[in-house]
Structure 1
Amino acid sequence: MELIFMPYVPVPKDLNKVKSKVAFNLTKRQLICFAIAGGVGIPFYLLTKSHIGTSLAAFIMIVIMMPFFFCAMYEKDGQPLERILKNYIGSHFIRKRKRPYQTRNFYAELQKEIDERKKEEMNIAKSKKEAAGKKNTTRRK
């Protein structure tokens, strides 16, 4: 009796987490960030290695390129780093920290509308009385 082993391929349960790979098993976002890192770091290295030495230039190049690599790889709860930073900066520096819970009181608005209608009705009744009073005074003369 022969045992046949079937290949095991893990399939993620949530297909929203699956990213399409473009080249070298990297996503488009990762390729762009790595290209930017290379575009910034390599010229820095080539321009500074003769002035500050090869090892120090390489170390500084790595330090300069690290934020771009981090930006390419970091993702939390399906959000990339720049979206997380945008939300953080917005919530801590741009918008107010204390946001009181405010409700829209529908009944107060209805009461205000009822009061306004009563005032209008009173003004109309008052103007009718004044008009009737003027008519009465003109007839007496």
Structure 2
Amino acid sequence: MAASYISVPRDLTKVKSKILFNLTKRQLICFSVAALIGVPSFFLIKSVAEVNVAVMGMMVIMMPIFFFAMYEKNGRPLEVYLGHFIEAIFIRPKKRPYKTDNYYAALMRLAKTEQEVEEIVRASMEQG
């Protein structure tokens, strides 16, 4: 009898639990939303245009939702990438000045602060 092998992924954190029809919960939700939006749009478009135009319109409406369901890169879904894109383009300032804080400057500030503290302590000792 021949042995059959099943491939097991090395990183089990990347394994998604399947719920129904070998789809994840996220995919089921997105496909349901796409169907709830796409099927009525098909009938609305079909009432004013031909069937092939209605089918194409339904596909155009449903494809972005399918993309949200299926696209994932580096373990992050599409909305995370869109959030980063919107933040980088529209929210964050365009010009970000380059500021350095080198070790020598930090040591100089520390020495200056310690000198000021010594002067304050010395002045209070002379008065008291």
Calculate the TM-score normalised by the size of structure 1. 0.75
How far does residue 38 in structure 1 lie from its aligned partner after superposition? 0.9
Distance of aligned partners of 1:102 and 1:72 in 2 relative to their CA distance in 1, 3 Å threshold = same
The range that moved more, 23-32 or 11-20, is 11-20
Q: Aligned ranges for residues 69-108 of structure 1 at < 5 Å?
A: 69-96=66-93, 98=96, 100=98, 102-103=100-101, 105=103, 106-108=106-108
Residue deviations 1:81-131 (CA, integer Å, cap 9, x gap) = 1111112222333224546363375423422321321341354367x2xx9
- SS of equivalent to 2:107: helix
**Residue 114 of structure 1 aligns with which residue?**
114
- Quick one: distance in 1 between partners of 2:115 and 2:90? 42
> 1:44 deviation in Å?
0.9
Equivalent residue for 1:50? 47
Mapped pair 1:11 → 2:44: no
Mark the runs of 5 or more structure 2 residues left unpaired by the alignment.
none
Q: Do residues 124 (structure 1) and 124 (structure 2) align?
A: yes
Contact 2:38/2:61 (<8 A) preserved:
yes
**CA contact 2:45–2:57 (8 Å) conserved in 1:** no
TM-score, structure 2 as length reference = 0.82
Instruction: Please state whether the residue corresponding to 1:114 is helix, strand or coil.
Output: helix
Percent identity between the aligned chains? 42
5+ residue gaps, structure 1, are 132-141
RMSD: 2.3
> Which structure's CA Rg is the greater one?
1
Deviation of 1:32 (Å): 0.7
CA distance in 2, matches of 1:101, 1:112: 21
Q: Which piece of structure 1 moves more, 53-62 or 104-113?
A: 104-113
Corresponding pairs, count: 125
